[in-house]
Chain A
Amino acid sequence: MSEKKQFVAQGRLIDEMSLKNRLVELFTKWEVILSFLFVVVFIFFTNMSPYFLDWFNLMNATFQFSEKAILALPMIFIIMCGDIDISIASIIALCAYVIGISAEAGASIPTLIVLSLLVGSAAGLVNGLLITGLNMPAIAVTLATQNIYRGIATGMLGEHACTKYPQGFGFFGQEFIPGTIIPFAFVLYLALMLVFFFVLHKTAYGRRLYAIGNSAETARFSGINVRRTRIINYTLTGFFCGISAVLLASRILSVRSNIATGWDLEVITLVVLGGVSISGGRGTVFGVFISSLLVGYLKFGMGLLKFSGTVMTIVIGSLLIIAVLLPRLLDIYKANRKLKIQQGGL
């Protein structure tokens, strides 16, 4: 009976929520804060540089961040389950190495793409099997494979740079959709983003990810194959590293062993800044979409204002820390507020 009473009390609580309370609720939502920040960044850079708010420039800027934004999508799944993968930059290096030497050996464009996707998926699968097979910590395993994958590329390539590619390979990373000013890579990203939105928010698989992130143990007891899901997540991430490697190799048309270094940090930053909880179980694809655009245009704008890459690294690192710290503070604020409302203070 007391339970019923509480339920009624809560119903009344929602009814009695004033407009002010509802507004506070809305504006302390992470996605709303991010969108607001995004607008601020746009207004700021438009005022600072005459070259910022220009359709052609804005579209051109997507070349710089589409590859990383694509990687952030499967990383949502991994972090959602409370896992982490810091080997993605090395998987890209491995895929790019395979693309580079195969192209030098005279492989066709479809062969290059298939090889890259296969190698990436295999590397991701190995990660997943190692982590779930012996139940080893994800951070330690991917730190090791980070060196193994990058090590293969470094060992095989040495100081060599692969610069010979078939005619037309540059399309994926350099060209626009014919007749428009929209880059192919950005359209690919948007399409993949919609797919991920659908999978995470509208399918059973997506709901399972939330369940695992909240409590892997509970999820296992409710019949979810946690081990298989985690392996799928890692393989998917490897597959997407393969896609990203094709775009990157096609964009810069030169593969060295140090390709894509530091991308682990940037991609994880995008996901965490997008509101995916690092301890798992919370986050949306929309949030990560906004954070990808936010970081992408922040870097573009800073580049226009002639900030060095160093300053940008510092900004990205700080963003990562702030992105984790701020929601914690917001949670505390919300909890205090709720307490006050329940006590009838507001």
Chain B
Amino acid sequence: MPDNSFSQFVRRTFARREATLMVLLVVLLVPITVRSPQFLSPKNISTILNDMAILVIVAIGQFYVILSNGIDLSVGSVIAFTGMACGMINESFPQVPVGLLLLVGMGIGAGLGLVNGVLVAYGKIPPIITTLGTMSIFRGMTFLLSKGTWVTAHEMTDSYIALPRTTFLGISYLLWIALFVIVLFYYFSRNTRTGREIYAIGGNPTAAKFVGVSESRIRLVVFLISGTLCGLAGSLWTARYASAVNEMATGFEMQAVAACVLGGVNFSGGAGGIIGVALGTLFLGVVTNALPVIYLSVFWQTFVQGLIVLMALALNTISDQRKTRKLLEQRRG
């Protein structure tokens, strides 16, 4: 019966978070556009996308940590440290090419991620405690590195500051980098052994160990990924905002977690995908940018984000519990 299979197709599509998010996005956009038609202007759209480019890079790192049953609260501090380091390198050694600067940022980020990873994987310290500690350690190191000063726009080279704004085929380099990261990790998640092993560890650590997945290695890898991506984000952050400040990216861990939770990533581990995270980031970006349209001051941004996370979290939990119940019923026959 074609009718039945069609309804099944619809139901199956809507059971996926990605589809729900798309629909929600459209539902959200209609009243916003009616109220303020210029919201969907190409200029505003590119502003939103560029704002979200750095977040999606960080959120993908956070995604892998949450996927493996952990959480990384230190992302904001890693961004601040690498951003400050890149800004200072750019100030002292202007001859260093921008491409190399991004690589240095990723290297520093990887180093900080390694610290987290070793403490979690081999020190057996819970991720929440490790990253709560390193969050303040890395932030403190940022202050020590900069000695409390800033790196301002005119102390940096033009080519570094211009990097996020330069366009190629009408799309900014910043967005190209974000797209590249999305595609790369989409492939990594679905088609590589380590990518699948992260899902396995998150879904059922005991079962994964029995089939030969090394839990310590996976825990190290996820923090390494998160650190490296935060390093990249940090080097881009300094360029985009044309300054390196000690307080930069404070509270960014919340936004990264928000993007993941919105994208259907489950805190009990093992569920979620890169496309969901990207859509979750986009959703967050639209909501944040729409606040002025509904005459809500920017001071309410924190509140709204917290509320969104809470609702998405409840939604995830309820749908997860429903799934488990259905599975149990099926097994009973």
Contacts and interface: CB of A to CB of B under 8 A. Distances in A.
A145 B136 CA distance: 21
B309 interface: yes
Given A148-B303, A151-B304, A317-B137, A141 B297 contact: no
Nearest to A151: B303
Contact of A147 (B124, B267, B297, B303): B303
Given A144-B310, A278-B129, A325-B125, 10 more contacts: A144-B307, A151-B302, A265-B132, A268-B129, A311-B144, A314-B136, A317-B134, A321-B119, A324-B126, A328-B123
A134 B297 contact: no
Nearest to B138: A317
B143 interface: yes
Residue of B125, B126, B130, B318 ringed by the most chain A CB atoms within 10 A? B125
Contact of B126 (A144, A154, A278): A278
A152 interface: yes
Contacts of A264: 132
B129 A324 contact: yes
A184 to B, nearest CB: 30
A39 to B, nearest CB: 25
A330 to B, nearest CB: 13
A72 B231 CA distance: 34
A145 B141 contact: no
B128 interface: yes
Contacts of A145: 306, 310
Contacts of B125: 321, 324-325, 328
- Closest 9 interchain pairs by CB? A151-B303, A147-B306, A151-B302, A148-B306, A314-B140, A317-B136, A317-B137, A310-B143, A155-B300
A147 B314 contact: no
Interface in A101-148: 130, 134-137, 139-141, 143-148
B101 interface: no
Contacts of A308: 143
15 contacts: A136-B267, A136-B313, A148-B310, A154-B299, A264-B132, A268-B129, A272-B129, A313-B137, A321-B123, A321-B129, A321-B130, A321-B133, A324-B126, A328-B123, A328-B124
A155 B299 contact: yes
A76 to B, nearest CB: 16
Interface string A36-47: 000000000000
B121 interface: no
Interface string B119-163: 100011110111011111101110110001000000000000000
Interface in A189-205: none
A320 interface: yes
Given A317-B135, A318-B133, A134 B318 contact: yes
- The B interface is mostly helix, strand or loop, or mixed, namely helix
B216 interface: no
A95 interface: no
Q: How large is the interface on B (under 10, 10 to 19, 20 to 34, 35 or more residues)?
A: 35 or more
Interface string B281-319: 000000000000000010111111111011001100110
B213 to A, nearest CB: 22
Interface of B: 71, 119, 123-126, 128-130, 132-137, 139-141, 143-144, 148, 251, 254, 257, 261, 267-268, 297, 299-307, 309-310, 313-314, 317-318, 321
A150 interface: yes
Contacts of B132: 86, 264-265, 268, 317, 320
Interface in A285-299: none
Contacts of B136: 262, 265, 313-314, 316-317
A308 B119 CA distance: 26
Given A147-B309, A155-B303, A320-B132, A134 B314 contact: yes
A245 interface: no
Contacts of A278: 126, 129
Contacts of B254: 143, 146-147
A99 interface: no
A93 B126 CA distance: 28
A139 B71 contact: yes
Interface string A252-293: 000001000010110011001000001100000000000000
A314 B141 contact: yes
A84 interface: yes
A198 to B, nearest CB: 28
Contacts of A140: 71, 257, 261, 267, 309, 313
B313 to A, nearest CB: 6
B136 to A, nearest CB: 4
Given A272-B129, A310-B144, A317-B136, A150 B317 contact: no
A166 interface: no
A130 B311 CA distance: 11
Contact of B128 (A84, A147, A325, A328): A84
B305 A151 contact: yes
A154 B298 CA distance: 10
Contacts of A157: 299
Interface string A323-341: 0110010000000000000
A303 interface: no
B305 A147 contact: yes
Contact of B137 (A134, A279, A318): A318
